[in-house]
Amino acid sequence: MARTNRQQWITHGVERTARADARQANIAAGRAVATAIRTTLGPNGSDKMLIGADGTVIVTNDGASILARMDVDDPIAEMLVSVAAAQDQTVGDGTTTAVLLTGELLAATEELLSDGLHPTTILAGYHHAVDRARKRLDAYGIEIDRTDDEALRAVARTPVTGRWDDASAERFADLATRGVRAVETGGHVDVQNLTVTALPGGELRESELVSGLLVDMDASSTTEGFPFGLPRQIDTARLALVDTEITVDTADAIESVTVSEPEQRERLRAYESETREDVIRTLVALGVDVLFCQKSIDTVVRTKLANEGMFTVERTRQDEFDALSRATEATAVQSVTDLTRADIGRAGSIERRSLGGTELLTITDCPGERHVSLLLRGGTEHVAEETQRIIEDCIAAVRLVLHDGRVLPGGGATEMALARDLSAHADTVGGREQLAIKAFAEALEGIPRALIANAGLDPIDELSALRSRHEENATIGIDPTTGKPRDMVQSKVFEPPSVKDRCLTSALGATSRILRVDDIIRAKPSDSDDTDHGSDEHTARAHRSTDGYPWAIGH
């Protein structure tokens, strides 16, 4: 991106960029990323078409998805992408906001620098602003009744509004709320007991909350050789969980060693079949109905078990395996022969279902920890993934609000309130630092400004209308459809305080890291520096949060 504009020269294999230019180029790179996603903010945000290197086209209006897939090779842009990933991972929402706010701050910083402010003064002002803003967030929080499902649904609705038609948004908000509620005890939400599975095909309205566990047979296990004739449903099932491969030496392997010794070969064959019989005997004696194995299961064993009416699932995913153990109270063992009666888990019912070309097992009525699964349907594989991401945002929001016990008005209302407070507060702060605090306040207005612009209105007019409305009411935000000011408490647009808090600290962190760099040194490629910085095929959520960036060593 901005790299081409950089004045670079090469000395001893090291590329350097001049001091002032380095900072400028970095700021420009950061702003470019923010600009790229600005129009996606809010329910009325527009879609972006992402075209992959292989020609695949993805249309999305989720800032987090865009950032996660953006092919950036500029270290600053890359850093913003990782800020977004970290935001997504820690609080699950507010990704676009955090990056936009960073972009606004960088723009403000550029002006302050050209006015002659030193980066240290600027950063001191920003830190001051964030400290105060975070305290104000506490004061602005509106207490909610944690037992009030309607209030929680309102929180869940904010991330889904505008993504689909109103009825679907309502439905998903309700599913997410019920899902979280099901695994909540006294404000604490056990997220590991709530899983979200999105399957392409079908209709959005076919999405459901399953009270129990889902095991995706396609994703987690080989389904080929599924024994014919096994029941679709097993009642009062007994389950066994085995960690390691269930195998016996293959005849082929033996052959190569002992081909010339028929007797020994015979003995090994006998041993092999004895081992298999042992496995089968143990499982039959324990009355196991379904066997889950994290690795593969010998085909002959599988067939024999099928003949005994036993259902086997190979390559069960680790998370599903753990969830099975918690819900069914089964204890995972190393090998089948270790199994005892006490290790056997139970489930009221295990059912096989085929949905959207995927085989699923639903495991319900378990004696252990309560587990619920949100099964999302509709659209192509990509749409399903997107749906999953948005629902995860809803879940995160509801969980955080249950934890915080408070909400903040959305639609830019909170940012505007903070901006007004900081701008007034700046006057009481002496020195040049106050300029930076004022600049921070203006950057915060970038959020309502983007919401107005995304509704197609003129940000200058509407923003001043919003500012003046705030004199009487600090919960006025922007209605994303009309672009006009509207009371967010009345329209029940609520967000978790932790998301807003994290947006502030994420933006400050990114800005200060960018600002502290005054020199760019491109070291020559080193063999050992092949660390993966999270740009794999997973979504941003699956990324490891890297609280730093490749070359930030020493900061």
- Contact residues toward ligand ADP (CB under 6 A) are 40-43, 45, 63-64, 93-97, 158-159, 161, 410-412, 447, 477, 480, 493, 495
Interaction of residue 88 with Mg ion, rule CB under 5 A? no
- With CB under 5 to 8 Å by kind, the binding choice for 45 among ligand ADP, Mg ion, none is ligand ADP
Interface with Mg ion by CB under 5 A: which range of 108-116, 156-164, 364-372, 442-450?
A: 156-164
Structure tokens at 226: 């599924």
- CA-CA-CA-CA torsion for 214, 218, 219, 221, nearest 10 degrees? 90
From the list 39, 40, 60, 62, the catalytic residue is: 62
Interface with Mg ion by CB under 5 A: which range of 53-61, 86-94, 130-138, 214-222?
A: 86-94
Residue 104 CB, shortest distance to ligand ADP, in Å, is: 13
Residue 407 CB, shortest distance to ligand ADP, in Å, is: 11
Please say which residue, 379 or 410, places its beta carbon nearer to ligand ADP. 410
- With CB under 5 to 8 Å by kind, the binding choice for 512 among Mg ion, ligand ADP, none is none
Please say which residue, 159 or 378, places its beta carbon nearer to ligand ADP. 159
Residue 481 CB, shortest distance to ligand ADP, in Å, is: 8
Interaction of residue 509 with Mg ion, rule CB under 5 A? no
Residue 359 CB, shortest distance to ligand ADP, in Å, is: 34
- With CB under 5 to 8 Å by kind, the binding choice for 511 among Mg ion, ligand ADP, none is none
Q: List phi, psi (to 5°) of 197.
A: -125, 125
> Rounded to whole angstroms, what are the CA distances from 291 to 315, 324, 372?
11, 11, 21
Q: Which of 201, 242, 212, 234 is nearest to 309 (CA)?
A: 234
- With CB under 5 to 8 Å by kind, the binding choice for 152 among ligand ADP, Mg ion, none is none
Q: List phi, psi (to 5°) of 132.
A: -70, -45
From the list 17, 39, 95, 312, the catalytic residue is: 95
Is 539 part of the annotated catalytic residue set?
Answer: no
Q: Which residue is nearest to ligand ADP (CB)?
A: 410
- With CB under 5 to 8 Å by kind, the binding choice for 77 among ligand ADP, Mg ion, none is none
Structure tokens at 195: 């899983």
How far is it, in rounded angstroms, from Cα 524 to Cα 231? 62
From the list 96, 97, 177, 475, the catalytic residue is: 96
Residue 16 CB, shortest distance to ligand ADP, in Å, is: 36
SS3 at position 331: coil
Residue 479 CB, shortest distance to ligand ADP, in Å, is: 6
Please say which residue, 176 or 360, places its beta carbon nearer to Mg ion. 176
> Residue 392 contacts by C-beta under 8 Å, 6 or more apart in sequence?
92, 196, 541
Structure tokens at 103: 């972009």
Residue 455 CB, shortest distance to ligand ADP, in Å, is: 10
Please say which residue, 159 or 179, places its beta carbon nearer to Mg ion. 159
Interaction of residue 63 with Mg ion, rule CB under 5 A? no
From the list 393, 404, 421, 501, the catalytic residue is: 393
Residues in the chain: 555
Please say which residue, 64 or 210, places its beta carbon nearer to ligand ADP. 64
Answer for which of 159, 212, 448, 534 binds Mg ion (CB under 5 A) is 159
495 pairs with which residues across the strands?
A: 408
Beta pairing class for 142-143 and 57-60: unpaired
Please say which residue, 439 or 447, places its beta carbon nearer to ligand ADP. 447
Please say which residue, 37 or 375, places its beta carbon nearer to ligand ADP. 37
Q: Which of 364, 474, 473, 456 is nearest to 419 (CA)?
A: 474
Please say which residue, 34 or 336, places its beta carbon nearer to ligand ADP. 34
Burial status of residue 203 (CB atoms within 10 A of its CB: 0-12, 13-18, 19 or more): exposed
Rounded to a whole number of angstroms, the CA Rg of the chain reads: 28
> Residue 373 contacts by C-beta under 8 Å, 6 or more apart in sequence?
194, 195, 196, 197, 209, 210, 212, 213, 214, 362
- With CB under 5 to 8 Å by kind, the binding choice for 298 among ligand ADP, Mg ion, none is none
Residue 412 CB, shortest distance to ligand ADP, in Å, is: 6
Is 62 part of the annotated catalytic residue set?
Answer: yes
Answer for which of 74, 78, 88, 93 binds Mg ion (CB under 5 A) is 93
Interaction of residue 433 with Mg ion, rule CB under 5 A? no
Interface with Mg ion by CB under 5 A: which range of 21-29, 92-100, 268-276, 307-315?
A: 92-100
> Residue 87 contacts by C-beta under 8 Å, 6 or more apart in sequence?
94, 95, 98, 502, 503, 506
360 pairs with which residues across the strands?
A: 216, 353
How far is it, in rounded angstroms, from Cα 115 to Cα 18? 20
How far is it, in rounded angstroms, from Cα 126 to Cα 186? 37
Structure tokens at 37: 């996603």
Is 95 part of the annotated catalytic residue set?
Answer: yes
> Rounded to whole angstroms, what are the CA distances from 506 to 208, 263, 450, 517?
35, 71, 19, 17
Q: Where do contacts with Mg ion occur on this chain (CB under 5 A)?
A: 93, 159
| Catalytic machinery residues | 62, 95-96, 393
